[in-house]
Structure 1
Amino acid sequence: MFTLKHLIKPPLTKGFVQNVLTRCLFSQKGSGSKKYYDIIIAGGGMIGTTLACTLGKNTRLSGKRILLLESSKDSLYVLPEKYSNRVVSLNPGTKKSLTKIDAWKHINEARFATVKRLQIGCDGVNSQVRNAMGVHYLNWKYDNTGVVATLTFSEEFDNCIAWQRWLPTGPIALLPLNNSQSSLVWSTIPADAKKLLQLTNEQFVDAVNEAIWKVFKHNSYVDQVLKTFDGFLRVSNCSPGLNRRYPPKIVCVEEGSRNMFPLGFGHAASYVAKGVALVGDAAHRVHPLAGQGVNLGFGDITCLDNVLGEAAYSGSCLGNVNYLKVYETKRQRHNMSMMAGIEGLYRIYRSDLTPLVLLRSLGLQTIDVLNPVKKMVINHAST
């Protein structure tokens, strides 16, 4: 029996994905006892809802009762004509997970229980479940604020590439929405972020175009080394070539789409305790520069689903800490390496020291021409 309670929380975009996931949830009534739930999931966002769907599809958990807790008011979701300014970047691993629960086809087309055996915290960065566990939470705030908006280009084209440029104050990125629009994620200092939101639409568009196209002063020594290295690559027939594409000029920002939010880092020393597990932002938080935050959460779901399935199959209690530790070990090994890589990129690109500027420039140029290394990086980010 799979029993679920969920209240829809509207926000291609997070709201749309969440609505699709909610439609994939199901409830089957039965005559079993209603005095307890086997699993309680706190937080009905994308991660919590996907986890509920995934566990509900797990045949080894077919006899378990699951409760999804969400504090938002129940409301009918209607797909808005305009895009939300909160857009997520989903990798192939996430797509596979959503396909497994029959949610991807929809995307492509368009609190209390008397007794609990396992509580899962999917309640975000300020997780109350994590706080109740009392685990050490390493965290800090970046001197960056994320500015988001929906942008329209001057012409339609095959908009299938996500763009990112590093500016002195932080990265600016464009995530494709359709052939004429992209979602902006601009990380900059808080003072500049506030100014960007106070600009008129025309001034904001000018500021974005300048940020994307402005030629900044280069280090002459670094330029000379890169020129020499590029010549070496050409002689070695390893040059990446000159077939590069650039985004067209931006002409419009969607009315009302501009917003900003604080950026930070966070990681729980422990993901689990007896009868409790943390998933998604409740366990870890990263800078959005690599677009991997939500994908780490979906990876947590896949792993926890397998672990709980094994626990149920073996007849063990779902809150058995020995099984939950398997989940914690596997996900911390993956998440911490990814988080360290993202944090390393952030700190390297924040520096203007000549050795670091040269290191990052040569590193990216080398990875670009070494396909095996490039594939390895892509594969790790896709799991």
Structure 2
Amino acid sequence: MFKSLCRGLATSTGSSVAKAAKKSVPKLQDVVIIGGGPAGLSLLAALKASSVTSHLKCTLVEGSSLEPIRKFGQDPPEEYTNRVVSLTPKSVEFMSSKIGSWEYMNQERVKFYDNIVAYDSQDRAARIAFDGSSLAEDGGFLAVMAENINIQSSLLQRIEAMDPEVAPRILDNTKVVDIQSPEEGSPVEDWPIVKLSNGESIQTRLLVGADGYNSPVRKYARIESRGWMYNRWGVVATIKLQYEDYRSIAWQRFLTTGPLAILPLTEENATIVWSSTPELSDILIKTNPAIFPELVNAALTLDEVSLNFIYEKLRVNPDDMSVLEDIQWRQTRLKITDLEENYPLPVVEVIEGSRAKFPLKLSHADTYTAPRVALVGDAAHTVHPLAGQGLNMGQGDVESLVGAIEKGVLRGMDIGSPLVLEPYTSDQWPGNHALMGVCDKLHKIFSTDWAPIVFVRGFGMKSLNMFDSVKDLMIKSISGKL
């Protein structure tokens, strides 16, 4: 009996060890993407939509639930969400022709616009207007406003509509616990191992970080990211205008505290992105909802001395209704024809719960690739939102990386090797760096009221506004069509 018990114990122990060993063996994949934001979903959809790379075994890991994104596609909310971005014609073309996701966008919630007007709070005559009519061959639009969740929903629908034979794995509600290099003597010696919160381990030929500013993938690859915080916050909100603005204009006013942009959506809807100091951002978030629309109107039209007076009153009491009379009195000093022709339509309402703020920063990775690792989107770079190029830079990353992988596959190369990946960095990094530098310099130039700089920038805006050929080049650069 004792021998039988020993044999049974040995068998049971051996079986447990065997099961544990089997469980610990990582699942092999060609591509693992960490992050289910627009960049991560775009990369997954593009790889599976390409006839060259559709055979690759791909897995996307997202820490939060994707169910709200699926729900948006089936039953979108009545009001716009507050995370809205501007898509360039190049990004729209990529989503249409390469990914095939544009047809899944909720078209009733996208707004094409073809004009941008930027003006200076320190000099009323200093303004510049961009007309997208020079892009007539590309549909005649300068950019498209769309909600982040609409973009994600279209990408997810495109992925889930793919042939089951090429459909990738998507693991949501799953966090990355650790990323490790394989032990010496492993059958696949240099493929990264991703350990997940569901107990699964995946070993991958190529690991892609689409996992944001604090990217674990970037840290695993020991890629340095350099930059700085701006000591500024971006305040976003969804608003209602007095009526629909058929002029189809994106407005931006440069204030010394940071630029305020009011961007068109469908019908009378619009969204704002207000870059502000930490103190002002608190005021903007706490201000009574009945006051906030008039505060936006004031910031778009009044001089900064008046604005500072109003801010101080709201700092003391966010519910001080007397500021409404202050704003109205100061606006009566402006000509009605000037307000109607040269400024946005009045804001009449802020959507409840739509106000939010986030810190502004600049960061740029030293490189976008390492052996068996690539970075896209915010994992590679973050930029000041004044030019609205953050998501478009990420889309450019994805398009370039997919192109590099396709070339590698066609040449029979290992898609995780530096020979395949390095062309992606050389293609994207310089252009992204230059654009980030321009945004940074614009922020610094316009965030001052020092008279000599105010004079020079005002003279520059007035002069530039007279040269349509130069503005056309700038438009093509902004739209990604240069």
- TM-score, normalised relative to structure 2: 0.65
Is the partner of 2:105 in helix, strand or coil? Answer: helix
Shift of 1:143: 1.6
Does residue 82 in structure 1 map to residue 79 in structure 2? yes
Match of 1:136 in 2: 224
Identify the structure with the greater strand proportion.
2
Distance 1:297 1:372 in 2: 29
CA apart distance, 1:342: 0.5
1:44 match: secondary structure: coil
Work out the CA distance in 2 between the residues paired with 1:156 and 1:83.
15
Instruction: Measure, in 1, the Cα distance between the counterparts of 2:356 and 2:54.
Output: 42
Query: CA shift at 1:371, angstroms?
Result: 2.2
- For 1:73 and 1:319, the matched residues in 2 are separated by 29
The Cα offsets for residues 3-57 of structure 1, whole Å up to 9 and x where unpaired, read as xxxxxxxxxxxxxxxxxxxxxxxxxxxxxxx941111111001111011111111
- Indicate yes or no: 2:267 matched with 1:179: yes
What is the DSSP-based 3-state SS (H/G/I as helix, E as strand, rest coil) of the residue aligned with 2:352? coil
Partner of 2:207: 119
Could you say what secondary structure the match of 1:197 adopts?
helix
Q: Structure 1 residue 74: deviation in Å?
A: 4.5
- Pairing 1:264–2:361 present: yes
- 1:143-158 equivalences under 5 Å are 143-158=231-246
Q: How big is the shift at 1:291?
A: 0.5
Equivalent residue number for residue 234 of structure 1: none
Structure 1: how far apart are the matches of 2:370 and 2:362? 22
- Listed as ranges, the gaps of 5+ residues in structure 1 are 1-33, 218-242
Which of 206, 213, 223 is the equivalent residue of 2:301? 213
Query: Taking every aligned residue pair, what percent have the same amino acid on both sides?
Result: 37
Q: What is the aligned partner in structure 2 of residue 57 from structure 1? A: 49
Q: For 1:45 and 1:313, how far apart are their aligned partners in 2? A: 28
Q: 1:368 maps to which residue? A: 465
Q: Where do residues 242-253 of structure 1 align in structure 2 (5 Å cutoff)?
A: 245-253=342-350
Aligned pair partner of 2:434 in 331, 337, 354:
337
* 1:283 pairs with 2:380: yes
Q: Cα deviation per residue 1:306-331 (whole Å; 9 max; x = unaligned)?
A: 11100000000011112211100110
Separation of aligned partners in 2, 1:113 and 1:378: 47
The 1:156–1:35 alpha-carbon spacing in structure 2 relative to 1, beyond 3 Å, is closer
The higher radius of gyration belongs to 2
Q: Deviations over 1:108-146 (max 9, x none)?
A: 523655421101100011111111111121121112111
What's the C-alpha RMSD, in Å, of the aligned pairs? 1.9
> Which residue identity lines up with residue 79 of structure 2 in the other structure?
K
What is the correspondence of 1:293-312 to structure 2 with a 5 Å cutoff?
293-312=390-409
**138-147 or 350-359, larger mean C-alpha shift:** 350-359
What is the Cα deviation at residue 71 of structure 1?
1.1
Residue aligning to 1:228: none
Cα distance in 1, alignment partners of residues 420 and 452 from structure 2: 46
Deviation at 1:244, TM superposition (A): 5.2
Give the deviation of 1:204 after TM superposition: 1.1
The match for 1:104 is 102
Could you tell me which of 287, 290, 308 is aligned with 1:202?
290
Segments ≥4 residues shifted beyond 4 Å? none
Superposition deviation, residue 216 in structure 1? 4.1
Q: Does structure 2 conserve the Cα–Cα contact (< 8 Å) formed by 1:159 and 1:180?
A: no
Which residue pairs with 2:444 in the alignment?
Answer: 347
Alpha-carbon distance in 2 for matches of 1:186, 1:70: 29
Confirm or deny: 8 A CA contact 1:159 1:176 kept in the other structure.
no
**How many pairs were matched up?**
326
**Tell me, what secondary structure is at the counterpart of 2:86?**
coil
